[in-house]
Every structure is written in C-alpha cells, then in structure tokens.
Amino acid sequence: MRHIISILLENEAGALSRVCGLFSARAYNIESLNVAPTEDPSLSRISIVTRGSDDVLEQITKQLNKLVDVLRVVDLAEGPSLERELMLVKVRAEGEQREEAKRLTDIFRGSIIDVSDSAYVIQLAGSSAKLDAFIEALDASSILETVRTGACGLGRGGRILKA
Amino acid sequence: MMTGAEILIRCLQEEKVEHIFGYPGGAVLHIYDELFKQQEIKHVLVRHEQAAVHAADGYARSSQQVGVALVTSGPGATNAVTGIATAYMDSIPIVVISGQVPTQAIGMDAFQEVDMVGITRPCVKHNFLVKDVREIAPTVKKAFHIAKTGRPGPVVIDIPKDVTAEKCAFEYPQKFSMRSYNPIMKGHTGQIKKAAALLAKAKQPMILVGGGAVLSDASEALGRLVRHLGYPMSNTLMGIGAFPANDPLNLGMPGMHGTVESNMAIHHCDVLLAVGTRFGDRVIGNPAHFSGEPRKVIHIDIDPSSISKRVKVDVPIVGNVRDVLEELCVQLGESRPPEAQTAEWWKKIGEWRNKKSLKYKQPSDLIMPQYVVQKLHEITGGNAIVTTDVGQHQMWAAQYYGFERPRRWLTSGGLGTMGVGLPYAMGAAFANPGETVVCITGEASIQMCIQELSTARQFRLPVKIVCLNNRYLGMVRQWQEMFYGSRYSETYMDSLPDFVKLAEAYGHVGMRIERPEDVEPALKKAFGEHKDDLVFMDFITNREANVFPMVAAGKGLTEMILAEDL
C-alpha cells in the first residue's frame, strides 16, 4: 500500500542524507521525497511516499524514529489526511494542440504560467493521482517535459505534527 | 582562551576518560601535541587504526566505560571503519575521534581527505563534523551521552585540523538537552503486568537472554527473576555471562551452534520471555519455521525497532532491560509458580539434555580444540576475561568455557569480524588491570591483527593467546565439507608462520603444543611461571574437527545436525 511518511527533523547538515541512507541501507523504496524548513527554521519537514506491507511500514517508522536528528514521524495513511503535489508541464501549443491544452488545463483547474509561440507551461496542483490523470489526458506526443515535487501532506482536523 | 585541541583533551578529561587508543597523523597533530602536554589520559599507540577501535570496543565491553579511539584523516579514518561497524552491530558504546583536512580543503580532494561522516553514516549511532571551535565542547558532551544511553553504539566526531588550532573560551556543559533524542528507560507498567500474568501461568516457559542484559548490567535482576520462577533459560552468544553457565536452569547457548535442550525449549515453549535480544538469524534460524509453533512471546528491548522485526511479539515492552526486569520482579510478587506446573516440561528438557549434544571424543594422539577450551576453563578457574576472533574456535569457546559473570566474554557477534581477538584483549587488559585475559583464536584470525603483538609488548600486556591451529579456515571448511561436497576452495592456510618464533621476535613467549598430554602442562606453565608474560600458545589441533550441533542456514531451530548424525 502507498503511504506518505511525514518526518520532522533537525534542520542540520547531513540530516537528509541520514534519512535517505536509511531507506537505501534497509532496502525500503522511495517513490518521492521532498524537504524544506518549517515555520521554525531550525526544523525541516520531509515527506516521503513509499510502498510496503504493514510490517515494513512499522519498521520504517521505527527506524526513522531511531535517527538521532529525527523528532517526530507520522504515517499519514493512519488517519484522515490531505495530500498535494505540484507539477509543471511544458506542452506543445501549436495549432489544434494549443486549444486542447488550454481546455484540459481549465477542466483540471490548472493554470498556464508561461506562454510562447510554440509552448505552454501548465501548473497543476492536487493529489498525485490527479496529476497522473492529467498526464494521461494529455496527448502524449504534446508533452515536452514535466517536473513534479512529489507529494506532501497533512493530517486533517486535529491531527498535528509538531515538535 | 584555549585551542580546539586543548579543549578536546579537557572535554575527554571531564568525561573521565583514562585511556585513548590511537595512531597519530597529519590532521591530528595539534591533538597529539596536547596529549603530550598532559598526564591524566594515557594514550595507547596501536600498530593499525582498526586495532585502535577494536581495543576501545573491548575496553567498553569489559567495563562500563565508553571506549575512545583517535585516528587521523583519510586512511586512518577508513581503517577505523571495520572497528566502528563491529561496535555498531553489537551496540557497544565508543567514541571515535577522527582528524579531518582543514575546513577550506574539504571537498578539494586534499591529501588524506575522505568523507568520514559520509562513510560511517550507516554504521554509527550518530556522527558529527565539527566546523567551529565553539562546537567542540557541546559535541563531545553529546557524543558521550548518545554513545552510552538508550541502545548504546559508536559515535564518530570528525574534526578538521584548523578547528583544533582555533581558539575560544572553554566551558564544559554540565547539562544539556536534545529535543530529538530521549530514549525510553522505564517499561510500560500495563505491559509488564501482562507479562507477569503470562509467566505465572506458563506450563512450558523459556527465557532467552541476549546482549541487552549484559549492556544494561541487568545480571542481578535477571538472576533474581530466573531463580524466583525456576524456569529454564538460555544466554545467546551476546548474552553469555548474563546468567551463570553452571546453574542447572541454564540450558546452554541457543542457535546455529546451540545445545539441543536450548533450541528445543525455545521452539516448543508456550511462553517465551525474550530479554534484550533481537532474534538474530544465528539465534532463531529461519523465522518462518520458528513462527510455525504457537507460543506467546514477551519481548523486552530498549530499541522499539528490534521488536516485531523478525518475530511477531505478543507482549512488547520497550525499556531498559534492567529497569524492566526489576519491575517485573515486583509485579510477580512473592508467590512462585508451583513446581508441578512445569514438571512435565522439565522432564522433556531432561530428555533433550540426555542427548549430551556437546559431547566429543578426545583421542590419544590428536588434540581436540574443545578439550583445550575445557582445560583452559579448569586452569583459569573460569575466571578469565576471554576474547575470541571469529570462526570455529569462537563457537567452541562459547560452548565449552562456562562463564559465570557478565563482561568476561568479548566476541564480535553481529558483524563477525576476524581480527578482533587480540585488540579486544588489549582493551580488556587496560580496563581490568590485574585480571587474567585470554584470547582464544585461530591461526587465520590472529593474522588479521597480528601486528598488535608489538603494542602488547610496548605496554607489557600479559595476555595469553590460545591459538587453535587447524591449518584451515575452519568454519568455512566445515561449510564446504557439509554443503559443497568437501571442495575446500581456498580454505587451506599454506605457508603459515612459525608462531613460536614470531611471538619471540616480538619479545614474547611462544609455545607449540602438539600432543593431548601436553595441553595441561603448557597451560599451567603459561598461567604459572609466565603469568606476567604474553604467551602465544600454538595448539596444533585435529584438522577436521567440526562444530556441533549445527542448524544449517535457512533451517529451523529443531532441524539440528548432531555430531553422531555424520
């Protein structure tokens, strides 16, 4: 099953590599990973999308908790949660493709943030599944390049990850 | 104002460090200069950095102190890595200080530069790169705290050379807190009550004790618990000494080379109390086979990630082994389980015991390695601190030298590092002056750190080396015999040195013992008239002796091969 693991850790040199190193050393898979400082600049928050059985997920959270730099670990899949990912797509925007790209962007509630004679850059945010669906909906030959941030997430309501 | 090097040494003095094992080099010259100027800390010059870390590790295992090693950058640092990984796998508290090239040179492929923090990351509990002289004192404080608290482990402090020359005011922090590091000590009372209830009702109980009991100095509480219950128990390889070997409740070591009674009891029990053990593959064999039998498992461990990692646990108790055992004793109260409750179980155990799975024959013309270990036990009164290397001799030492106390048995259990025996003995000798220290080894293992005979000479360490010389890489050969059609690929030790002459060349006493009747006199001589010398005893043993019982890799605990099966 797919899980988003949220990690609150010291914003120190090497902290991210401890987390990445743990995943590779113990053969856990990383589907995506993002990291940035929080509102408290001494802390960073990492969101990792991973897959595994319940046993593997239990080990992942326990092993992460063991890292000296890590303060809190939560598996967002354990309760109601929100998930968002940001994607930028550069598509061919010539002739009929130009209209089609604009239409699809509106349907998916994305926005076009760069326009040139031959291409658009579309910005789209949403769950990873929604971004996948958008890629699916586009004519494959019109896609010039894509970049995605990987998913990040928060627990709904009173579920809070804080130091 | 003090220099970084001066501050570092002052910090180590504040931590009550008495011995540092190390090897100088360019990046640590400032530190060595400060060592030279003081008296409190004694530096032990090894002959290879790997041995410095092993010696610090042996120092820690045989005492309750944090071991300290000091190495230079680059090759000094990489040579230390095997020692660090060895300590990591067995959760041994050590602090390794490595020099680093000057801050400005980091990343420039400077002479003797290596990314020590990067290289050691997977095999340390934590590591630090100190980039500011003001950070030295707080970092050393944190390093010692992290190394010895919670599940202990090695901590590396990498210090660039320029940082050891910069100056700042010195103040050693007395108190500090780390918001991200707060190991749990006390177990959950509700869980401990559940465990007590399960234990009180057990009809076929078994207690499995691992290295956690030794590391947390839990022997006293463990002894009270086991004797109060009157239940059978077993020390794993790392738990040896936690509970005395000569007690009838002790069924002997479990696992790949465990006794029949121990392995059968662990497999067939209805309640298993696992204490500070991680259910390693050498202890329980195939986890699927192990889980095939219904039993309730209670697991006490300070590391939550050790619980339910390889074996599903019914009653997990996270906490320091000693604290939890003490509370478990309280929860069990005065009442003992009636003897009749476990009478049937003890009868079964008696039958398994009657198999005498450790018996062997000592012929008149060949020295059996087991016999040497038994005689060694006799002559040292079972009181020696015994270190080993890795292989057959290690298993025979574990099986035949009955340990009555903890911290007398020093072996590389997790990583299985050949070459640790002699440096461990050095560390133990420094930590326990006046004690008898024996290194049981093989002719292959001893050559992996043989250069330390020179260190032992310099410091007049009266270590006794018992080399069980079978002219083979014995354990590998045993596997080749049993599983590879006796094709002894590269396990023949050709061109062995004359160990007697070698020992003498280093200034020690050497002996070669070739006949069974000479074993006892040689040992008596070594521990008698040569009490104060390092004696290298080269026992020429039966070449093809095997370690039994044996659970082959991937097999279950009950699928043992016994000596008589072959």
Beta carbons of B269 and B360 less than 8 angstroms apart: no
B256 labelled catalytic: no
Report, as an integer, the average pLDDT of B267-281: 97
> pLDDT category, B98, cuts 50, 70, 90?
very high
Beta carbons of B539 and B526 less than 8 angstroms apart: no
Q: Do B305 and A62 touch (CB under 8 A)?
A: yes
* Set of chain A residues whose Cβ sits within 8 Å of the Cβ of B302: none
Interface check B402 vs A, CB under 8 A: no
Distances (CA, A) of A143 to A89, A149, B361, B362, B416: 7, 18, 78, 79, 54
CA nearest neighbour of B548 among B566, B522, B524: B566
Q: What is the DSSP letter of B304?
A: G
Of residues B129, B180, B305, nearest to A69 (C-beta): B180
What 3-state DSSP class applies to B330? helix
* Set of chain B residues whose Cβ sits within 8 Å of the Cβ of A9: 180
Beta carbons of B422 and B449 less than 8 angstroms apart: yes
* Set of chain A residues whose Cβ sits within 8 Å of the Cβ of B309: 59
Q: Is the pLDDT of residue B175 over 90?
A: no
Dist CA A68 CA B388 (whole Å) = 32
Q: Do B121 and A17 touch (CB under 8 A)?
A: yes
Q: Which of B129, B151, B305, B308 to mutate to test the interface with A (most CBs of A within 10 A)?
A: B305
Beta carbons of B43 and B22 less than 8 angstroms apart: yes
Interface check A9 vs B, CB under 8 A: yes
Interface check B178 vs A, CB under 8 A: yes
B49 labelled catalytic: yes
Question: Per the residue annotation, which of B34, B49, B113, B135 is the catalytic one?
Answer: B49
Nearest-CA distance B177 → chain A (Å): 12
Q: Is the pLDDT of residue B566 over 80?
A: no
Q: Do B122 and A21 touch (CB under 8 A)?
A: yes
Interface check B115 vs A, CB under 8 A: no
Please say whether the dihedral angle defined by the alpha carbons of residues B398, B400, B406 and B409, taken in this order, is positive or negative. negative
* Set of chain A residues whose Cβ sits within 8 Å of the Cβ of B118: 17
Q: Do A63 and B305 touch (CB under 8 A)?
A: yes
Report, as an integer, the average pLDDT of A140-156: 96
Q: Which of A66, A69, A70 to mutate to test the interface with B (most CBs of B within 10 A)?
A: A66
Residue B177: per-residue pLDDT:
87
Q: Which of A53, A68, A69 to mutate to test the interface with B (most CBs of B within 10 A)?
A: A68
Nearest-CA distance A9 → chain B (Å): 8
B514 labelled catalytic: no
Interface check B304 vs A, CB under 8 A: yes
Q: Do A25 and B122 touch (CB under 8 A)?
A: yes
Task: Read off the pLDDT of residues B48-75 as tens digits, 9 standing for 90 and up.
Answer: 999 999 999 999 999 989 999 999 999 9
Residue with tokens 């579309």: A122
Nearest-CA distance A43 → chain B (Å): 11
Beta carbons of B425 and B386 less than 8 angstroms apart: no
Residue A148: per-residue pLDDT:
98
* Set of chain A residues whose Cβ sits within 8 Å of the Cβ of B126: 68-69
Residue B176: per-residue pLDDT:
82
Interface check B299 vs A, CB under 8 A: no
Beta carbons of B418 and B7 less than 8 angstroms apart: no
Dist CA B137 CA B400 (whole Å) = 46
Interface check A65 vs B, CB under 8 A: yes
Q: Which helix (H) or strand (E) holds B147?
A: helix B136-148
- By CB atoms closer than 10 A (0-12, 13-18, 19+), residue B58 is buried
Interface check B110 vs A, CB under 8 A: no
Q: Do A9 and B180 touch (CB under 8 A)?
A: yes
Q: Do B309 and A59 touch (CB under 8 A)?
A: yes
Determine how many CB atoms are found less than 10 A away from the CB of residue B344: 11
Report, as an integer, the average pLDDT of B153-177: 96
Beta bridge partners of B440: B388, B466
Task: Read off the pLDDT of residues A22-75 as tens digits, 9 standing for 90 and up.
Answer: 999 999 999 999 999 999 999 999 999 999 999 999 999 999 999 999 999 999
For chain A, how many residues are written? 163
Nearest-CA distance A44 → chain B (Å): 12
Question: Per the residue annotation, which of B13, B14, B112, B362 is the catalytic one?
Answer: B112
Question: Per the residue annotation, which of B368, B475, B537, B560 is the catalytic one?
Answer: B475
Dist CA B459 CA B486 (whole Å) = 44
* In chain B, % of residues over pLDDT 90: 97
Report, as an integer, the average pLDDT of B174-201: 94
B261 labelled catalytic: no
Residue A163: per-residue pLDDT:
84
Q: Which helix (H) or strand (E) holds B301?
A: strand B296-301
Beta carbons of B89 and B151 less than 8 angstroms apart: no
Of residues B118, B121, B180, nearest to A71 (C-beta): B180
Task: Read off the pLDDT of residues B206-260 as tens digits, 9 standing for 90 and up.
Answer: 999 999 999 999 999 999 999 999 999 999 999 999 999 999 999 999 999 999 9
- Measured between CA atoms, the residue of chain A closest to residue B126 is A68
Q: Residues of A142-153 as b/e, b for ≥16 C-beta within 10 angstroms?
A: beeebebbbbbb
* Set of chain A residues whose Cβ sits within 8 Å of the Cβ of B308: 55, 58
Read off φ and ψ for residue B146, nearest 5 degrees: -65, -40
Q: Over chain B, what is the mean pLDDT?
A: 97
Report, as an integer, the average pLDDT of B119-136: 98
Q: What is the DSSP letter of B531?
A: T
Give the list of residues 6+ apart from residue A106 with CB closer than 8 angstroms, or none: none
Beta bridge partners of B537: B466, B511
Q: Is the pLDDT of residue B503 over 70?
A: yes
**Strand A32-37 relative to strand A43-51, pairing:** antiparallel
B111 labelled catalytic: yes
Task: Read off the pLDDT of residues B8-46 as tens digits, 9 standing for 90 and up.
Answer: 999 999 999 999 999 999 999 999 999 999 999 999 999
Interface check B308 vs A, CB under 8 A: yes
Residue B183: per-residue pLDDT:
93
Q: Do A13 and B129 touch (CB under 8 A)?
A: yes
Q: Do B179 and A69 touch (CB under 8 A)?
A: no
